[in-house]
Amino acid sequence: MKHATSFGRLTRALVLAAALLSLPTAALAQHPSRYRLADDWAKLPAGRKTAAVGKLVTAPDGQSIWAIIRCAPPEEPSLHAPRKLPGLFGYECLNSKLDPIIQFDLDGNVIKSFGGGLFIWPHGMGIDRDGNIWVTDAVSPRFIPKGDKRGAQVVKFSPDGKLLLRLGTPGEAGNDPAHLSTPSDVAFTRDGDILVADGHNPADNNRIVRFTLDGKYVSEFGKTGYAPKEFRGIHAIATDDDGRIYVADRYNNRIQIFKPDGSYVTSWLQFGRPSGIFIRGSDMYVADSESDNVENPGFEMGIRIGDIATGWVRDFILYPWGDPRTTQGTAAEFVTVDKAGNIYGGEPVPRNIQKYIRVHP
């Protein structure tokens, strides 16, 4: 009887733990967050209008923030107001020469910019160990004009904006070693290779492709589906200090985790519907821009902060303008953190870089 009672207690404990992991993070919102909003952080040059924001990356020295800001579409609805997606969304830089790659200092002032005319829909970004900037062009093939040598590629730049290398065949979508299709993000292995999240949309390639830093194809894994090691819309990718790979499998509402060799470890559902992942040490920050009453009922939009060793979500920054009845996605899609622990969220639809200041440990 004693053993049965112990087993019952253990069972109840496991059930409780599972329930806590599956709780909507609105429960976390009942506790005060360690962060507060700091509006109007990014100061664009005079005359440049705010536009959809893609990925944000903290520079290796922690002294600046790199951001993708796409070319402004013709419609300019008010910030945070409910609306339909603006005109040209998905190909905002098609006919523009504006620089979409911008480096800000920690006060939000522009240091430099480059990349004008080289992209149709710049989306993801990463900085390798040599400080080079890698940017993806995730435009859907249907928006690539015939003969246009943009899209379906990842472009490597020096820190000063010199074009160094292209991955994929520019303007040609495909699924072989020489082609990509809507690549959404990049990350780097412990060995210095680059990992490309190839497949922004559910019907795209849905694979992780590994290249050397000089552009040679190494390997790949993944396909479209619902099972482990299958994806439906890979929106972001990140690696930790041990080389594990974290994939934002957005349309499956989960983060899939893999060993450095690509073998499957587990899946996490407790971080909501993941759009962006940032990892520093044992801390993981996940941006959820699309949890709503249709896509991921029970979760709310915002940024979840957790531990990569346990998967425990310990903090949640609720997006104050989020409305679960709106299915367009309005909060931050990508997230990064500066040397002081302040958080920056890149918001495509509100067209904003939102800074969250850390106010206490």
Tens digit of pLDDT for each residue in 232-262? 999 999 999 999 999 999 999 999 999 999 9
The number of residues in the chain equals 361
Q: What percent of the chain has pLDDT over 70?
A: 87
Asked if the model's pLDDT at residue 12 lies above 60, the reply is no
Dihedral, 213, 197, 331, 291 alpha carbons, nearest 10: -160
The residue-averaged pLDDT of 348-357 equals: 93
**Cα separation of 88 and 106, whole Å?**
30
d(CA 355, CA 145): 36
Write down the pLDDT at residue 141: 95
Average pLDDT, the chain: 88
Residue 120 contacts residue 151 (beta carbons within 8 Å): yes
pTM: 0.88
Position 330 scores a pLDDT of: 85
Q: Average pLDDT for residues 67-93, to the nearest whole number?
A: 65
Q: In whole angstroms, what is the distance from residue 59 CA to residue 358 CA?
A: 19
- Amino acid letter at 2? K
- Please list the helix, strand and coil fractions of the chain in percent, rounded to the nearest 5, in that order: 10, 40, 55
CA–centroid distance for 31 within its chain: 26
Residue 186 identity (one-letter amino acid):
V
Could you give the C-alpha distances from 321 to 62, 325, 330, 361, in angstroms and in order?
A: 29, 12, 8, 25
For the chain, report the end-to-end CA distance as a whole number of angstroms. Answer: 46
Cα–Cα distance measured from residue 13 to residue 79, given in angstroms and rounded to the nearest whole number: 45
Between 244 and 331, name the one with better pLDDT: 244
Q: 100 by DSSP, 3-state: which?
A: coil
**Which domains can be identified in the chain, with CATH numbers?**
28-358 (2.120.10.30)
| pLDDT tens, residue by residue, 26-49 | 444 455 678 999 988 999 988 888
| 328 pLDDT more than 70 | yes
Whether the per-residue pLDDT at 160 is higher than 60: the answer is yes
